[in-house]
Amino acid sequence: MELVPAKTILSKPKDDSWFGNDYNMNLYRGCCHGCIYCDSRSECYHVDDFDRVRLKRGALAILERELASKRKKGVVGVGAMSDTYNPFEREVQATRGALALLGRFGFGVALDTKSPLVLRDIDLIQRIAHKASVNIKITITTADDALSKIIEPHVCPPSERFRAIRELSAAGIFTGVLMAPMLPYITDTEENVKKMVRLAHENGARFIFPMFGVTLRQNQRDYYYRKLDEHFPGLALKYRNVYRSNYYCASPRSRQLRALFQKECGKYHLLYRMQDIVAAYKKKEPSMEQMTFF
Ligand code: SF4
């Protein structure tokens, strides 16, 4: 697989508001899952030829050095800029190696993926969970397999992703659904919201975190509109008229959908607020005073 130079693997997020991540980690550059709405292909991230997956050279050695040098342990977010369970990972096993390192150094993990390949690493995720916090988020934007094939062409169908949630939950791993983005005029229906919440519950998810809209910027917007022209004729024009150059494009039905979503989550006792999800999965890290004492 093609390698690209890298100086660092871990980065510090601006704050911990995204699922309480203390660090972020990207082992790969680019993603070949082809989601038409992908934010990571935006110009501001400077990932050339985004659909080509490359591995950062010496990724595990760099990560080991970085983990050993951190004074503060915490939760490492994985999968923000590219799905770490891309098809190459089956052979390359960089993610598997990284999870082993997180476990060895006592760090937690909050991982986003659309691939059931995460099931391969249940043993390592369980090992991490013995000492630290674990949160596995499976991204599912529609419960409709046929529609997913159009908007997320190179990933497995949502039905398979729900099965992955079932297996992770059965293994005692804190798991939930990232229902983001919700595409205006495409996936923003009451039927989809109800089915997503029901399936999350039936498959043992602890939470479902929503976004009732999509973000669009720079070349990501051009790519998205090209795909809309291919699969949903006339819709790109509607977006242009409604959203112009807005960064956040909220579903016109977001208020009703949110109310319905909250009602459905209440029915099944599913968490959906960020602070509740973080409080449920994050173990307390020992304070500096406690560490000094011990
Ligand atoms: S899986 Fe994530 S990173 Fe990959 S194309 Fe889809 S949205 Fe982008």
Per-residue pLDDT of the chain (294 residues; tens, 9 = 90+): 899 999 999 999 988 889 999 999 999 999 999 999 999 998 888 888 999 999 999 999 999 999 999 999 999 999 989 999 999 999 999 999 999 999 999 999 999 999 999 999 999 999 999 999 999 999 999 999 999 999 999 999 999 999 999 999 999 999 999 999 999 999 999 999 999 999 999 999 999 999 999 999 988 999 999 999 999 999 999 999 999 999 999 999 999 999 999 999 999 999 999 999 999 999 765 544 444 443
* Beta carbon of 31 within 6 Å of any ligand 1 atom: yes
201 CA from centroid of ligand 1 (Å)? 24
Whether residue 200 has its Cβ less than 6 Å from ligand 1: no
> How far is 197 from 25, CA to CA, in rounded Å?
29
Measured distance CA(277)–CA(96) in Å, rounded: 25
pLDDT at 287: 46
Q: Give the model confidence (pLDDT) of 105-148 as tens digits.
A: 999 999 999 999 999 999 999 999 999 999 999 999 999 999 99
- What element of type H or E holds 223? helix 218-231
Question: Token pair for residue 201?
Answer: 């519950």
Ligand 1 contact, 161 CB (< 6 A): no
The per-residue pLDDT for 104 is 97
Q: 195 burial class (0-12, 13-18, 19+ CB within 10 angstroms)? A: middle
The whole-number pLDDT of residue 286 equals: 52
CATH class assigned to 3-285: alpha beta
Q: What is the dihedral of CA 260, 261, 265, 266, to 10 degrees?
A: -40
The alpha carbon of 84 and the centre of ligand 1 are apart by a number of angstroms equal to: 10
**Ligand 1 centroid vs 34 CA: distance in angstroms?**
7
Residue nearest to atom 6 of ligand 1 (CA): 35
Mutate to test the pocket of ligand 1, among 24, 32, 83 (most ligand atoms within 8 A of CB): 83
Distance of CA 236 to the CA centre of its chain: 26
Which residue ranges make up each domain of the chain? 3-285
How many angstroms is it from 38 CA to the middle of ligand 1? 5
Half-sphere exposure (Cβ direction) of 191: Cα atoms closer than 13 Å:
5
Look up residue 218 and give its two tokens: 């720079």
Mind listing the pLDDT tens digit for each residue in 72-87?
A: 999 999 998 999 999 9
Report the predicted TM-score, pTM, of the whole model to 2 decimal places: 0.94
Instruction: Find out whether the beta carbon of 132 lies less than 6 Å from any atom of ligand 1.
Output: no
Distance (Å, whole) CA 53 – CA 47: 10
The amino acid occupying position 187 is T
The CA–CA distances, whole Å, from 188 to 128, 181, 237 equal 36, 10, 18
Structure tokens at 177: 């659904």
Q: Please tell me the distance between residue 31's alpha carbon and the centre of ligand 1 in angstroms.
A: 6
Using an 8 Å Cβ cutoff, are 40 and 56 in contact? no
Instruction: Give yes or no for residue 82 CB within 6 A of ligand 1.
Output: yes
Atom 7 in ligand 1: which residue has the minimum CA distance?
38
Confidence (pLDDT) at 288: 42
Q: Cβ(35) to ligand 1 under 6 A? A: yes
Distance 207 CA to ligand 1 centre (A): 21
Residue 41 CA, closest ligand 1 atom number: 8
Tokens of 293: 């004492």
Q: Is the CB of 178 under 6 A from ligand 1?
A: no
